[in-house]
Structure 1
Amino acid sequence: MIRLVGARLVQIAVTMAVLSFLMFLLIGLMPGDPIDLAIAGDPRLTAADAARLRALHGLDQPLLSRYLAWVAALLQGSFGYSRLFAQPVAQVIAPALASTLVLLGAALVLAALLGIGLGLLAAARPRYAPAVDAIAILGQSAPSFWLGILLIILFAVTLGWLPAGGAAEGGWLDAARHLVLPVATLAIANLAAYARHSAAATATALREPWITAARARGNGEARLLLRHAFPNAAVPVLQVAALDAGALVGGAVITETLFARPGMGKLIYDAVMGNDTNLALIALLLVALVTMLATLAADVAQRAIDPRMGDG
């Protein structure tokens, strides 16, 4: 296990280095720069002012030199300043990251609970399997932005039960009400894989001879399903969770933008559209790091459940 974690941490470090260069390159090649935006916003700035500002911020240097200078500052713990928010990048990202982690964590738990519940139902009662498959297909095929719009129209506009979006202004109850629709949007869009994998793996486990023996010893069907069959079928579900971390992060960008939720998804969108290089780079790298660490945690959990998987 230690060898696995060490090897994966090295892999994560290398991946982060490559990603940082590619992201810096792509953002650096975008048309315009912060100085161009400043000139557009203040016609009084002259060409000499623009040249002086570019030299002051290092924007007159080659792209590789700018990247190396940025990495050197990053390794010293300096994330720079956000041009859009006129604050240190760390201060801008901290609340957005906390908001996104709450959203992703709640969506992951809800998607897993609903999907596993449907999968166990399909495995224990095969007559319900077509209905479970239909629900999974609908959830997987519906675009998250379309599903989110439908939920807003139904629960916010028509029924008026929940807020359509934005940030909570009250206590924990108001925060929970603002979470319901974005969490439901992400969970419904991601429950299909949990349902299908848990149904297939549990149905296979229920046909094993040791399940027949446990049934002959007088174990009830519920105990057989929850205490014997599903724990032995949990590894494929954990694999889905590992892959789902990346899918949820991608879905969060759309969902947070749709619901105007102040999280990492909306922050990245605003930073890229506003040409805020420092904020965009740090936010994108942080999201990638969280995704890879979540995948590592799922892999470690798989090997803890099934040591036969080894450290490969």
Structure 2
Amino acid sequence: MTRLLASRLAQIAVTLAILSFCAFALIALMPGDPIEVAIAGDPRLTGEDAQRMRALHGLDRPFHERYLAWAGGLIRGEFGYSRLFAQPVASLLGPALLSTLALAGTALLIALALGVALGALAASRPRAAPAVDGIAVMGQAMPTFWLGILLIILFAVTLGWLPAGGAADAGTGLAYLVLPVATLAIAHLAAYARHSAASLEATLTEPWIRTARARGASERVVLLRHAFPNAALPVLQIAALDAGALAGGALVTETVFARPGMGKLLYDAVMGNDTNLALVALLLVALVTMLATLGADLAQRLLDPRLREK
């Protein structure tokens, strides 16, 4: 386990270094730069002003020098300044990441719990399988923006039980989380229900399951103690990928419910040519994605002793 952890952490560091270089190069290839945007917004700036600003921000230096200077500052914890929001990048990323984690993390846990429960129901009771499959199909077929608008119309406009959108106390208000969390959870539980049902159905036909039943174990014990730990392995990988994807911000859901999060922040940074903010936000999302995958791998080894030897 220790060897795996050390190896994966080294891989994460190398991947982040390669990703930072590629992202920096791609953004450098984009037409225009922040100075040109500033000149377009203020006609009083002259060509001499533009040259001084480029020299001040190091934009007149070769590409490799600019990258090394930026990467060195990043290693030292200097994330730079956001030109678009006129704030330090670190002060923007913290609230956005917390808001997204509160939304996406809660939705992921609810979707995982409900999806696995529905999958177990379908696998253990074949008569319930068509109903579970119908729920999964409906969850996958409904676009998140359409589902979110329906929930707003029903619970915010018609019934007036919940706020239609926004955030309170930096995104910690529970009432503001209910509708967006429900939207994301319904959209993601279908995959967990289907994969857990298929995995449990395959596991329940294994010889050791028949042996456990022959020894007199109840169906509940067979399902929870013997079948579920083995069937949970592929579901954990899907959850890890979803966690990484949602860490980047559920842009559509955040837009529908007017929640400030990583998705909206990344979109604004890229469209506004805010290099520092876009690069650091992208690396942060990649780091969360890889850490979620690492957590899933460690959980798999805890559930399956055979994997601990690898």
CA, structure 1 residues 308+170, in 2 after alignment: closer, same or farther (shift >3 Å)? closer
8 A contact 1:168–1:178 mirrored in 2 = yes
1:273 maps to 2:271? yes
Question: In the alignment, what sits opposite 1:77?
Answer: 77
SS at match of 1:36: helix
8 A contact 2:105–2:243 mirrored in 1 = no
Between the aligned partners of 1:216 and 1:274, the Cα distance in structure 2 is 66
Question: In the alignment, what sits opposite 2:38?
Answer: 38
Question: In the alignment, what sits opposite 1:196?
Answer: 194
Aligned pairs for 1:249-264 within 5 A: 249-250=247-248, 252-264=250-262
Residue 119 of structure 1, CA deviation: 0.1
Between the aligned partners of 1:3 and 1:142, the Cα distance in structure 2 is 43
8 A contact 1:238–1:298 mirrored in 2 = yes
Q: In structure 1, what residue type is equivalent to 2:226?
A: H
Question: In the alignment, what sits opposite 2:18?
Answer: 18
Query: What is the CA deviation profile of residues 173-224 of structure 1, one whole-angstrom value per residue up to 9, with x for unaligned ones?
Result: xx11111122122212211221112112222333344444544555443333
Question: In the alignment, what sits opposite 2:232?
Answer: 234
Residue 250 of structure 1, CA deviation: 5.0
Question: In the alignment, what sits opposite 2:307?
Answer: 309
Gaps of 5+ in 1: none
Gaps of 5+ in 2: none
Between the aligned partners of 1:171 and 1:242, the Cα distance in structure 2 is 23
Question: In the alignment, what sits opposite 2:152?
Answer: 152
Residue 86 of structure 1, CA deviation: 2.1
Root-mean-square deviation (CA), in Å?
A: 2.2
Q: In structure 1, what residue type is equivalent to 2:46?
A: T
Alignment coverage as a number of residue pairs: 310
CA, structure 1 residues 280+66, in 2 after alignment: closer, same or farther (shift >3 Å)? same
Question: In the alignment, what sits opposite 1:107?
Answer: 107
Identical aligned residues as a percent: 72
Residue 251 of structure 1, CA deviation: 5.8
Question: In the alignment, what sits opposite 1:122?
Answer: 122
Query: What is the CA deviation profile of residues 62-98 of structure 1, one whole-angstrom value per residue up to 9, with x for unaligned ones?
Result: 3332112111111222111111222221122112112
8 A contact 1:186–1:251 mirrored in 2 = no
8 A contact 2:100–2:249 mirrored in 1 = no
TM-score normalised to structure 1 length: 0.91
CA, structure 1 residues 275+170, in 2 after alignment: closer, same or farther (shift >3 Å)? closer
Residue 252 of structure 1, CA deviation: 1.7
Query: What is the CA deviation profile of residues 99-141 of structure 1, one whole-angstrom value per residue up to 9, with x for unaligned ones?
Result: 2122221011011011001101101111111221222222223
Between the aligned partners of 2:80 and 2:115, the Cα distance in structure 1 is 42
Question: In the alignment, what sits opposite 1:295?
Answer: 293
1:162 maps to 2:165? no
8 A contact 1:99–1:263 mirrored in 2 = yes
Residue 151 of structure 1, CA deviation: 2.4
Between the aligned partners of 2:78 and 2:152, the Cα distance in structure 1 is 40
Between the aligned partners of 1:233 and 1:214, the Cα distance in structure 2 is 16
Between the aligned partners of 1:186 and 1:123, the Cα distance in structure 2 is 24
Q: Say which is worse superposed, 206-215 or 62-71, in terms of deviation.
A: 206-215
CA, structure 1 residues 296+171, in 2 after alignment: closer, same or farther (shift >3 Å)? closer
SS at match of 2:250: helix
Between the aligned partners of 2:111 and 2:223, the Cα distance in structure 1 is 20
Between the aligned partners of 2:153 and 2:38, the Cα distance in structure 1 is 39
SS at match of 2:111: helix
CA, structure 1 residues 171+290, in 2 after alignment: closer, same or farther (shift >3 Å)? closer
